[in-house]
Amino acid sequence: MKKQNTPLITNIFTADPSAHVFNDRIYIYPSHDIPHNGEDNDNGDEYQMRDYHILSMDDTSDEVIDHGEALHQDQVPWVSEQLWAPDVVYKNNTYYLVFPARDKEGNFRIGIAESDKPEGPFNPRADYIKGSFSIDPCSFIDDDEQVYIYFGGLWGGQLEKYRNGVFDIKNKEPKGDETAVFPKVAPMLDDMSEFKSAPQDLVILDESGKPLTGGDEDRRYFEDPWMHKYNGKYYFSYSTGTTHKIVYAVGDNPMGPFTYQGVVLEPVIGWTTHHSIVEYHGKWYLFYHDSEYSGGINHRRCVKYCELNYNEDGSIQSITPEYK
């Protein structure tokens, strides 16, 4: 496999990697940063992604394959702009690309595109998932074949605008001792056509069993949900956003609640941090991105990976990014 902690590819800028093992290869589903000279802002206007490129790799060589454009925003009838962080799940002999984008009114929704190959190309459905909103969908398939979609991102991702269940531009992120905004989770119907039930909060608790607060920026959820199982436990990991960490919580049910445990990845170069965790040939790996290759430009990122290790008690060993 390619050397750890180095960009997987540099012919394009990639970010937000969702890694899965299909057909004995690791497939990475990233977003595609488009270089430009615009300014950064809290609304995320600098992240001008328009298409998806699928990457793959294995442990027989250092080659990472860019399979080319798998989906472009112009192919999706309901999309206006910004194809942000995607994910893929395999079910019903189909690869389902689950992705966020702004609809014609400027609100983020979550759509699905389908393929019979993990690298695509993907054919989008005509409309987004009914009842979906915000960004960063993670599609987790449990041992019983039930698929869950986890999603949500603050600020540009609009999650805090839905605090009452309906988009309201006046809603703001909670502060201080107010209960934090939580990510959303919903099970999917078996045919992946829509949510089986309405999205609900995925509650994250502190060590005393109390919900995390909005002022607890070292632990509260910001964006980038990821779910994996290890030794029968569910591990929910995510970005804290303003404090630039990847952290995790553990639970006994995929719908929660989850109890905060610690840090997976310390801050990287660049404002955003986004990740996925995957097992391959008996080892666990963390895929992430940073802005080292571009000299710290936030919207010119590259995907990297490194090995991830657990302690005997099931806790994750925290990783500090390696730079020259």
Q: Is 223 a catalytic residue?
A: yes
Whether 324 is in a domain gets the answer: no
**Tens-place pLDDT, residues 187-238:** 999 999 999 999 999 999 999 999 999 999 999 999 999 999 999 999 999 9
Q: Is the peptide bond before 118 cis (omega within 30 degrees of 0)?
A: no
Confidence (pTM): 0.97
Supply the pLDDT for residue 280. 98
Q: Which residue segment(s) compose the domain that 39 sits in?
A: 13-308
**Tens-place pLDDT, residues 251-263:** 999 999 999 999 9
Whether 267 has a pLDDT exceeding 80, the answer reads yes
Whether 164 has a pLDDT exceeding 80, the answer reads no
Q: Is 279 a catalytic residue?
A: no
Whether 170 is in a domain gets the answer: yes
CA distance 13 to 75: 21
Query: Which three-class secondary structure string do you get for 160-182?
Result: HHHCCCCCCCCCCCCCCCCECCC
Whether 232 is in a domain gets the answer: yes
Name the DSSP class of 75: G
Supply the pLDDT for residue 92. 97
Whether 103 is in a domain gets the answer: yes
Whether 322 is in a domain gets the answer: no
Supply the pLDDT for residue 175. 95
Domain count, the chain: 1
Supply the pLDDT for residue 42. 78
Catalytic one among 46, 87, 223, 224? 223
Whether 56 is in a domain gets the answer: yes
Say which CATH number the domain at 245 has.
2.115.10.20
| Lowest-confidence pick of 32-46, 55-69, 73-87, 290-304 | 32-46
Supply the pLDDT for residue 208. 98
pLDDT band at 28 (very low <50, low <70, confident <90, very high): very high
Instruction: Tell me the HSE value of 1 on the side-chain side, using a 13 A CA sphere.
Output: 20
Average pLDDT over the chain reads 97
Supply the pLDDT for residue 109. 98
Whether 8 is in a domain gets the answer: no
Beta bridge partners of 274: none
Whether 323 is in a domain gets the answer: no
| Lowest-confidence pick of 35-44, 121-130, 182-191, 204-213 | 35-44
Whether 72 has a pLDDT exceeding 80, the answer reads yes
